[in-house]
Amino acid sequence: MNRQTLHAAQALWLPVLLVALWWWGSAGSTSIYFPPLSKIVALTWEDLVRGPLPGFIAFSLGNLAAGLALAIVAGISLGTVLGWYPLALRLLDPVLQFFRAMPKVALVPLFIGALGIGALPKIYSIALGCVWPILLNTIDGVRGVEPGQLEMARAYRIPLALRLWRVILPAAAPQIVAGVRVALAIGVVVMVVSEIYGAQQGVGYYVLNASRAFDVAQTWGGTLLIGLIGYLLSTSFVIAEQWFLRWHYLRARVLGLNA
């Protein structure tokens, strides 16, 4: 418990210090563009308690979860096939590199124009933005499986499906999870952009609506709320990753002690 408290203190001391300095430094601010942090927090809290923000947050997180889930399924499935069959990777690599280099947010207006302003185009936009780090990390992870493990699986004549499930994917899991972590950060950005371009709800729409009304404090509050959501998602993912890959970290500690 003391170690967990120490880790929490190490992670939070700088954000707490920056917030305290901002609160103190902006206390007497009369600038239209830089209102006091106390006013920003009060307005945001009011919208969280009595305003539309809870529904907007639920809408945004629902789109993010659906888009990320689609990206995980597509990225792991295609990445496993391409990592296992080098010829297929060589044939499709130019196409993959072309679409990977394409700015994902530039496609958001096309999805919205074709599919409307509902949740579906936002989910597709998030999935398209998130799939690439998962796909590429899966390919590298599958190609990086130790040859000894594959040879042993072949020697025991383990079927390909079982070999894939019990040998290849577990060995590639650390890199796949790292790709999902990167994809999560990309997904938050695409989520906000898709709601700014065309939406009637969501945290991106909340910020856009506040800026249109020249409510600078509310705009600041929505922006800070998006940052807080991203931070909480990232922290939660790291905790889940440590649980999901506990065998990997335990193995790394054992190898480090024996080195």
Which CATH number goes with the domain that contains 202?
A: 1.10.3720.10
pLDDT at 258: 56
**For residue 77, is it within any domain?**
yes
Per-residue pLDDT averaged across 166-188, rounded? 93
Least confident piece of the model among 45-49, 75-79, 96-100, 173-177: 96-100
> Is pLDDT above 80 for 9?
no
**For residue 166, is it within any domain?**
yes
42: its two tokens? 């009060």
Please write the tens of the pLDDT for every residue from 52-110: 999 999 999 999 999 999 999 999 999 999 998 989 989 998 888 888 888 877 778 88
Question: How far is Cα of residue 20 from the mean position of the Cα atoms in its chain?
Answer: 28
Alpha-carbon span 146 to 214, nearest angstrom: 58
**For residue 218, is it within any domain?**
yes
- DSSP secondary structure letters along 170-239: HHHHHHHHHHHHHHHHHHHHHHHHHHHHS-SSSHHHHHHHHHHTT-HHHHHHHHHHHHHHHHHHHHHHHH
| pLDDT above 90: percentage of residues in the chain | 51
**For residue 161, is it within any domain?**
yes
The residue that leads in pLDDT, 182 or 256, is: 182
Band of the pLDDT at 174, cuts 50, 70, 90?
very high
pLDDT at 198: 72
* Mean of pLDDT over the chain: 88
For residue 98, which amino acid is it? F
| 196, 159 Cβ separation under 8 angstroms | no
> Is pLDDT above 70 for 257?
no
Q: How many CA atoms within 13 Å lie on the side-chain side of 139?
A: 19
User: Quick one: CA torsion of 89, 90, 92, 97, rounded to 10 degrees?
Assistant: 100
Alpha-carbon span 165 to 29, nearest angstrom: 59
Residue 137's domain comprises 52-253
Q: How many domains does the chain have?
A: 1
Tell me 107's DSSP state: G
| pLDDT above 70: percentage of residues in the chain | 96
233: its two tokens? 């998602």
Per-residue pLDDT averaged across 141-167, rounded? 83
Per-residue pLDDT averaged across 132-147, rounded? 91
- Comparing CA positions, the residue from 170, 165, 162 lying closest to residue 145 is 170
Could you give the 3-state DSSP secondary structure of residue 159? coil
Burial class of residue 234, CB neighbours in 10 A (0-12, 13-18, 19+): middle
| 142, 83 Cβ separation under 8 angstroms | yes
**For residue 14, is it within any domain?**
no
| 53, 109 Cβ separation under 8 angstroms | no
**For residue 18, is it within any domain?**
no
The residue that leads in pLDDT, 114 or 137, is: 137
**For residue 241, is it within any domain?**
yes
211: its two tokens? 């800026």
pLDDT at 110: 80
> Is pLDDT above 80 for 7?
no
Could you tell me the pTM of the whole model? 0.88
> Is pLDDT above 90 for 196?
no
Q: What's the start-to-end Cα distance of the chain, in Å?
A: 29
**Helix 37-49 and helix 216-244, axial crossing angle in degrees, nearest 10:** 70
The residue that leads in pLDDT, 75 or 116, is: 75
> Is pLDDT above 70 for 2?
no
Alpha-carbon span 151 to 163, nearest angstrom: 11
Please write the tens of the pLDDT for every residue from 218-250: 999 999 999 999 999 998 998 899 888 888 778
**For residue 84, is it within any domain?**
yes
Per-residue pLDDT averaged across 30-43, rounded? 91
